Chains A and B, each alone.
Chain A
Amino acid sequence: MDEKKRRLLTNRKPPSDTAGEPGPADRAATATKPKPMSTWSITWRLGATAVALIILTCGQFLNTNDFFPLGSLTQYATAKDLNGTVNSTCIEAQFPGEDEPRRLGFNTDTVGIERGDIESQLDRVIANPELMQTMADSFERLHPNEPKPEEMILCRTVTQLENGRSVGEPEHKILATWEVQ
């Protein structure tokens, strides 16, 4: 801090003629004279910094991601109970001629969208299961050699914790289903 200030002050004086002298510490001090910033230049920069900090701070307290890139930093922010459950959303597809639905990878390479994206709008997808049609379409497009799924199943595995350790087999819940068209 003081070092920088000193440089700042010394640089305002006429440039010294020792430029080119070795030693990285002296480089800045022996630099050509920097142009001072205009008042406007300083004002808008400090103003923009302040506005951005205010928006970012509001983003946290309003708990919203909406102000991206200055949204809330929510990832892994929610406390999890050591005796609670660990939920993980899954996607399955029923293929013609198969006895049981098959678990698909929940990512852009398989169904065109990431698990996190669907989890972030889970209520909307459960209320509007027709949104799963787009995942079936993406699967078809990305896997031209595989049969077309008959039904898409949005599911959740629930693992019970006891003092932070999992107990029993994960429970499998169906959140929504959609007959593929």
Chain B
Amino acid sequence: MSNSTTAEVKAGNRVIAWFTPQLPLARVAVFRVIVYIFVIIDVLTISADVIPHGWTPELYQPLWLARFLHIPPVSVLGAQILLAAIIVFSLLAAAGILQRISGWAVAITFGLWMFYTQGYGYVAHDHMALVIAVVVLPTVGIARFRDVGATSAKAGWALRVVQISVVLTYFYSVVMKWIASGNITHWANGAVIIWALMRRGAEWSKPFLEMPGLLIAGQWATLVFEFLSPIVLFFKGKWLYGAVIFFMLFHLMTYIALGIHFLPTVICWAAFLPLEKLVPKRFAATR
């Protein structure tokens, strides 16, 4: 074997190891609780428009996968049954009962719910990471709180995929701004925040409309940190915590100013954190 091939194999292994790191199964167990509880909150609040959509089948604009699978517009009763199923399966999955079955059941029912919330014209992009989390979590298999010491590459892959989805939500939005505006400086020097504030701004934020220069500076800042977001994948320790806090504050600000909470992505930031530390010692110790 020549030197170069050895080097290539090593590089390949390093890529594989990066995509499938050994992470504690307990981290998945905690992340799962966060995700599945949030799914329940999501279907009852943020994406609760599925039941009203049952009344407006004429406005159904099915997405590619929904057309491919011939998913018909939702009826009111269908939406109510689906809602009940999601809540039951999510509770089971959060509690770690029948882990594989309940996980896949949530993936299917919540996936269907997503087609019905997004399939009526407007497609929100704050749900990308959450939908992917719900799809990859069942692939981990059995994960318990007491598995603090037990690591798994399957757990590592699932969490890594969620992390990638989170940062790409920001990074690709910059790519899209570039594509959609033709010239990224037009976007950054333009009136996007002004437009957003005028259309849906909170009353207290209206005085900022008198300061377009400040809002343009905000647009440049947004571009820069969204573009740099993938480096968070390589952060550790204080830097990682700092980055997570920074993004939380960004979303808090857009929520207060514009009512855009982005919560489905926000909760997926948990995939970056050593969640197994939340498991009380007495659970972690029993093996």
Q: 1/0 per position for A59-75, CB-CB distance to B under 8 A?
A: 01101011111111111
Contacting residues of chain A (59-105) with chain B, CB-CB under 8 angstroms:
60-61, 63, 65-82, 84, 86, 88
Contact A60 B181 (CB under 8 A): no
Among listed B86-94, B97-105, B168-176, B243-251, interface-contacting one: B168-176
Q: Does A28 contact B (CB under 8 A)?
A: yes
Select from chain A the residue with minimum beta-carbon distance to B285. Answer: A20
Q: Does B189 contact A (CB under 8 A)?
A: yes
- Chain A count of residues within 8 A CB distance of the other chain: 75
- Chain B count of residues within 8 A CB distance of the other chain: 81
Contacting residues of chain B (209-229) with chain A, CB-CB under 8 angstroms:
209-210, 212, 215-216
Given A4-B21, A60-B176; A28-B209 close (CB under 8 Å): no
Q: Does B283 contact A (CB under 8 A)?
A: no
Contact B181 A120 (CB under 8 A): no
Given A7-B22, A86-B198, A113-B56; A161-B191 close (CB under 8 Å): yes
Given A4-B17, A56-B168, A137-B55; A28-B149 close (CB under 8 Å): yes
CA separation between A41 and B234, bound complex, in Å? 24
The listed residue (B52, B186, B234) touching A79 by CB distance below 8 A is B186
CA separation between A112 and B51, bound complex, in Å? 9
Contact A49 B187 (CB under 8 A): no
Chain A contacts for B149, CB-based, 8 A = 19, 27-28, 30-32
Contact A56 B172 (CB under 8 A): yes
| Residue of B49, B121, B187, B285 ringed by the most chain A CB atoms within 10 A | B121
CA separation between A60 and B172, bound complex, in Å? 7
Q: Does B108 contact A (CB under 8 A)?
A: no
Q: 1/0 per position for A18-38, CB-CB distance to B under 8 A?
A: 011000100110111011110
Contact A82 B189 (CB under 8 A): yes
Q: 1/0 per position for B249-271, CB-CB distance to A under 8 A?
A: 00000000000000000000000
CA separation between A27 and B52, bound complex, in Å? 49
Chain A contacts for B153, CB-based, 8 A = 34, 36-37, 42
| B76 CB to nearest chain A CB (Å) | 10
CA separation between A167 and B122, bound complex, in Å? 30
The listed residue (B182, B196, B234) touching A76 by CB distance below 8 A is B196
Chain A contacts for B23, CB-based, 8 A = 28
Chain A contacts for B209, CB-based, 8 A = 165-166
Chain A contacts for B198, CB-based, 8 A = 86, 88, 159, 166
Select from chain A the residue with minimum beta-carbon distance to B16. Answer: A42
Contact A73 B150 (CB under 8 A): no
Contact A61 B14 (CB under 8 A): no
Contact A61 B194 (CB under 8 A): no
Q: Does A51 contact B (CB under 8 A)?
A: no
Can you list 16 A-B pairs with a CB-CB distance of less than 8 A? A7-B151, A36-B153, A42-B20, A67-B65, A73-B173, A76-B173, A77-B176, A79-B180, A80-B195, A82-B194, A112-B53, A116-B122, A120-B61, A121-B61, A164-B212, A164-B216
* Chain B contact residues, CB within 8 Å of chain A: 14, 16-24, 48-49, 52-53, 55-56, 58-59, 61, 63-65, 114-115, 118, 120-125, 127-128, 131-132, 139, 148-154, 157, 161, 164, 168-169, 172-173, 175-177, 179-183, 186-187, 189-192, 194-196, 198-199, 209-210, 212, 215-216, 234, 236, 274, 276-277, 285, 287
